[in-house]
Amino acid sequence: MATAMRAQAVTRPITSGSSLLRRMVTLFAVHTVLVCGAVFILLPFVWMVVTSLKSPSEIFTVDFSLWPKHFNAVENYGRALTKVPLLRFALNGFIVCAGILIVQVLVAVPCAYALAKLRFPGRNALFALVLLGLCIPVQVPALPLYMGLASLGLLNTYFAIMMPFFLSVFAIFLFRQFFKGYPDEIIQAARLDGMSEFEIVWRIVVPSSWPAIAAFSVFSVVAHWNDLYWPLIVINDMNLATPPLGMLFFADSETGSNYGSLTAAATVITAPLVLAFLIARRRFIEGITMTGIK
């Protein structure tokens, strides 16, 4: 009997009638705001993909409907891929990003290690220069670099696109922070074992700094895949165009006409990074958040 009464005393936690209502209302309001924001964010993506599937007649009708009635995907994408060498752009993007990243890491890692762990004359001066470089956006040295490359006849080459980015002061700064936390004892033990400094950097420190290097790689690839300013300046040969530049060319040539293949091209260009993001979300957010810490 006593236990039965006790069982009746069991209540639902903290929520009485009015506060349950309050919680529901709050939840509803919160999600309304979030969903409205999400609609705003997703609008171009959805519209892009949907338009790329529509036929011209549908696109140009004034009363719009979301889902295409006639699928014109093959023609739109076909046009996009052939009229302008989209795949070529993607390939260029890949070459450029890979090239830049490889040199960036090769140059930045030893320098960061030296700044973090070794004592050598001019170390502080070099670090001050690195800090200064962090404040200088690439659009600033662009002008003289352009002139220099022009006089050397090196415009319109892969080298021209990649060259200003070979040195990433951000990478040096980032890796230096990371290497500073690396235990000195391991390095000293390696020295005692007879390892040269060069080996220490590449065979011991780098493998354990993988998270930092991976995160930086993400940042670098995203930044340079999406870069327009510099390629626009040094390239006017369409065969070398990177994705953003290619998109610009395509948009130029198709102004006012074929929105179907325009959006198809946009989809093809945006897809790689978005897919990579969906697959490796954590690394992406880490890497890109570092631009903020920059």
Q: Kindly identify the residues of this chain, within the stretch 36-65, that bind other proteins according to CB under 8 A.
A: 37-38, 40-45, 47-48, 51, 59-60, 62-64
* Distance from C-alpha of 38 to C-alpha of 3, rounded to nearest angstrom: 51
Interaction between residue 102 and other proteins (CB under 8 A): no
Applying CB under 8 A, which part among 67-75, 77-85, 205-213, 245-253 lies near other proteins? 245-253
The set of residues, in sequence order, having a beta carbon less than 8 Å from that of 215 and lying 6+ positions away, is: 283, 286, 287, 290
Interaction between residue 111 and other proteins (CB under 8 A): yes
Applying CB under 8 A, which part among 74-82, 153-161, 203-211, 273-281 lies near other proteins? 273-281
Among 25, 28, 31, 82, the residue binding other proteins under the rule CB under 8 A is: 31
The alpha helices in 193-258, defined as continuous H runs, are 197-199, 206-208, 210-225, 229-234, 243-253
Among 21, 23, 25, 26, the residue binding other proteins under the rule CB under 8 A is: 26
- Nearest distance from residue 225's CB to other proteins, in Å? 7
End-to-end CA distance of the chain: give it in Å, rounded: 69
* Distance from C-alpha of 153 to C-alpha of 98, rounded to nearest angstrom: 24
Q: Kindly identify the residues of this chain, within the stretch 158-217, that bind other proteins according to CB under 8 A.
A: 163-164, 166-167, 169, 172, 191, 196-198, 201
Among 24, 102, 147, 154, the residue binding other proteins under the rule CB under 8 A is: 147
Interaction between residue 281 and other proteins (CB under 8 A): yes
Window 72-101: contact mask with other proteins (x via CB under 8 A): ------------------------------
The set of residues, in sequence order, having a beta carbon less than 8 Å from that of 171 and lying 6+ positions away, is: 104, 105, 108, 112, 216, 220
Q: Which among 150, 250, 132 is positioned nearest to 140, based on CA atoms?
A: 132
Torsion of CA 189, 190, 191, 194, to 10 degrees: 120
